[in-house]
Structure 1
Amino acid sequence: METVMMILIMAIIGSLIGGLTNKLAITMLFKPYEKKYLFGYALPFTPGLIPRRREEASTKLGEIIMGHLLTPEVFVEKLNSENTRNFLVLFIDQQLDTMEREEWSTSYVLNRIHPTLSEKILQGLNDEIYKNVEKYGNDIYEKNIDELIPSESRLKLDQYMFETHKMILGKAREYIRSERGYHDIYTMIDEFIENRGRLASSLKVFFSKDSLTLRVQSEFLKLLNQEKMNNILQTFIIQEYDELRARDVASFISESDKGKMLSNVSTFLQQQIDIEEKLNIPLYKLNPELFKSFQEKGKYQLVENIIQYLGKNFEKILDKLQLAQLIKYQIDNFELSKIESLVMEVSSKELRMITMLGFLLGGIIGVVQGIIVSIF
């Protein structure tokens, strides 16, 4: 009877030692979370295994996930799958339908990216118009007239100016012969006689105003028909024309007037182009044929381009994302209590079995020890 009691007691003691040891070992996986001290000395096995090795474990876990599980090849294979292609096509279709139904404009899309982006782009385009107008305006301002005339136009203009004297002389002769010309000559003679004193008044004794007018008219016509007058006028016109062509635009327009002209031209172009109105036109109305073509065919090419681009650059993208470091950072900053509760929740049944196995093995060892002691 004493032997049986001894074996039973040793079995109970062994069972408790085995079970509680396993229970303590499981608890020490996480606890304590921090290093503990006694009389200024750090206690062994503190902190627990996982808190102590968390940084090393997070680094290894990140490397394993990115090195063996989430590799670029895995992503590329997923990208090239039919499901991914169908998903992208469906997504584009949904966006196009929404765009058409809600009449998305360029301005609306830009403002979805940033509330003031449309306004900034509008201002930027208007500023660009002014800069270009100012640039070309300044270029023109520094050139002479001859540089601004196209070669073909210059030939026509040269020919026209070479013949201009004939037109002027012809018009002058027509004027002198006309009733108006006669009247104007008569009026000037009358004013001359009235304002020149006795000498001029004495002419009235010998000549009437009408005869003087006819005489002056005749002399004017003789003068205009002389070849020398023809040459003088032609030479004068050509000289003035050449001098005009050689002058800079700046000699005709002041700096202040130039600034006003450039501003007016810029404002006119902005009004004619009306960028703001175009930004508010629904996208599908900007070019209906192009929009329809994209709906029917273009979207498939876009999907292929996206997949090809991502496939070629996915390794670079993953390197830039630094997912291994991100995984490490997330694990390092995850609360230990939550990790513990998560592990316990997932493996509670197995951990209980390990504890029970400790009780069982401890009891068996206690029985074996009791039998050995009773025999010897």
Structure 2
Amino acid sequence: MNALFIIIFMIVVGAIIGGITNVIAIRMLFHPFKPYYIFKFRVPFTPGLIPKRREEIATKIGQVIEEHLLTETLINEKLKSEQSQQAIESMIQQQLQKLTKDQLSIKQITSQIDIDFEQVLQTNGNQYIASQLNNYYTKHQNQTIASLLPNQLVAFLDQDVDNATDLLCDRARNYLSSAKGTQDINDMLDTFFNEKGKLIGMLQMFMTKESIADRIQQELIRLTSHPKARTIVTSLITNEYQTFKDKPLNKLLDASQFNEIAENLSVYVTTFASKQANKPVITLMPQFVDYLEGQLSSKLANLIVEQLSIHLSTIMKKVDLRGLIEEQINTFDLDYIEKLIIEIANKELKLIMSLGFILGGIIGFFQGLVAIFV
């Protein structure tokens, strides 16, 4: 009976010692948070393991995450996956649909990214447009008009220059045949008669002013259809057109004239753009918005993935994932770290404490046997 009591007593004592030892060991992982000193000597095991090695732990965790978990290769593979591309495309389409649904204007869109479209347009628009036009003039001022115009436009003008004769003669004939033309001829005759005095007075003895005006009108109308007159008009138009094409830009407009045109044009363009910027984009460019929703969203998603993949290495270096994790862990309170680890490993820590009690009990059992037989 005495032997059984000794064994049980040793088991209980061993279990208590083993369990408490493990509890203290686990506790010493986190506590104390700071070192303690007796005189000038630091008390052993202060601070606790995790407070003492927090910076080293943070460095190792950052290294493990960067080198083995969130690696560049893994992120690149995830980025190129069909699921990621679909997510990016879906996000783009949602923003485009919002553009249509909310009837957003260009000014509203730019204001969402903290850009004052009106201010940017007025501050930089006029100056930029005028500057570009003046640079163009400086670069091309010695070139001929024909060399500056698009080839298709020059070919079109060359082909249709002969039609100008028909158009001009038809317009002249219509004008001369109109009431306005008749009135203008009569007015010019009155002025002519008043200037010539007696000589015209003698002429009026044989013909009335109305008959003279009618005769002049008929001759002018006939002249518009006369082949010789049309040939002369064609020759004049062709010569003037050729002269215009061969004239250098600076002979047509000097620098001051071109600068004035550039300034007026820049003001007109910016004013027009400002008015249009208040209208919904879907109203201004419905086909373009349809194209964005239908095709560009997919192309844009592919482009984003492609560019991110190309520049991923640079982005990873700029982000410095390891340094970011180290910095974040080092900012955590030790109480929070303790709570976090216990929440994660609570079951395992309890098993360790239980194992301490069990091992202590087993050791106590054998110690009891030794005490009895020895």
Do both proteins adopt the same fold according to a TM-score greater than 0.5, normalized to the shorter chain?
Answer: yes
Which residue matches 1:30? 30
Cα distance in 1 between the residues matched to 2:49 and 2:333: 15
Contact 2:107 2:116 in 1 (8 A): no
TM-score normalised by L of structure 2: 0.64
**Identical amino acids, percent of aligned pairs:** 31
Deviations 1:85-106 (A, max 9, x none): 2222221221111101112222
Listed as ranges, the matches of 1:257-268 within 5 Å are 266=263
In the TM superposition, what is the alpha-carbon distance from 1:271 to its structure 2 partner? Answer: 3.2
In the TM superposition, what is the alpha-carbon distance from 1:136 to its structure 2 partner? Answer: 7.9
CA RMSD of superposed structures (Å): 3.4
Deviations 1:309-340 (A, max 9, x none): 22222222111111111111111111111111
Which residue matches 1:350? 348
In the TM superposition, what is the alpha-carbon distance from 1:179 to its structure 2 partner? Answer: 5.9
Cα distance in 2 between the residues matched to 1:79 and 1:151: 52
In the TM superposition, what is the alpha-carbon distance from 1:114 to its structure 2 partner? Answer: 0.8
In the TM superposition, what is the alpha-carbon distance from 1:284 to its structure 2 partner? Answer: 2.8
Cα distance in 1 between the residues matched to 2:326 and 2:144: 72
Contact 1:122 1:275 in 2 (8 A): no
Listed as ranges, the matches of 1:111-150 within 5 Å are 111-114=111-114, 116=116, 118-131=118-131
Match of 1:29, SS state, is: helix
Change (3 A) 1:122 1:275: farther
Is residue 2:361 matched to residue 1:363? yes
Which residue matches 1:109? 109
Contact 1:31 1:47 in 2 (8 A): yes
Match of 2:29, SS state, is: coil
In the TM superposition, what is the alpha-carbon distance from 1:8 to its structure 2 partner? Answer: 2.9
Listed as ranges, the matches of 1:230-245 within 5 Å are none
Is residue 2:318 matched to residue 1:303? no
Listed as ranges, the matches of 1:305-320 within 5 Å are 305-320=303-318
Change (3 A) 1:358 1:149: closer
Which residue matches 2:268? 271
TM-score normalised by L of structure 1: 0.64
Which residue matches 1:180? 195
Q: Which amino acid aligns with 2:21?
A: T
Greater radius of gyration (CA): 1
Cα distance in 1 between the residues matched to 2:136 and 2:26: 82
In the TM superposition, what is the alpha-carbon distance from 1:150 to its structure 2 partner? Answer: 6.5
Deviations 1:88-130 (A, max 9, x none): 2221221111101112222212111115355234421123245
Listed as ranges, the matches of 1:23-172 within 5 Å are 23-114=23-114, 116=116, 118-131=118-131
Q: Which amino acid aligns with 1:335?
A: D
Which residue matches 1:240? none
Aligned match for 2:284, one of 258, 283, 286? 286
Which residue matches 2:339? 341
Match of 1:28, SS state, is: helix
Change (3 A) 1:42 1:374: same
Q: Which amino acid aligns with 2:94?
A: Q
Contact 2:126 2:267 in 1 (8 A): yes
Aligned match for 2:321, one of 323, 327, 334? 323
Deviations 1:213-240 (A, max 9, x none): xxxxxxxxxxxxxxxxxxxxxxxxxxxx
Change (3 A) 1:13 1:148: closer
Question: Structure 1: 5+ residue runs without aligned partners?
Answer: 153-176, 184-247
Change (3 A) 1:150 1:341: closer
Contact 1:15 1:366 in 2 (8 A): yes
Question: Structure 2: 5+ residue runs without aligned partners?
Answer: 148-191, 199-249
Which deviates more from structure 2 when the two are superposed, residues 278-287 or residues 356-365? 278-287
Cα distance in 2 between the residues matched to 1:58 and 1:151: 72
Cα distance in 1 between the residues matched to 2:70 and 2:143: 66
Cα distance in 1 between the residues matched to 2:66 and 2:127: 48
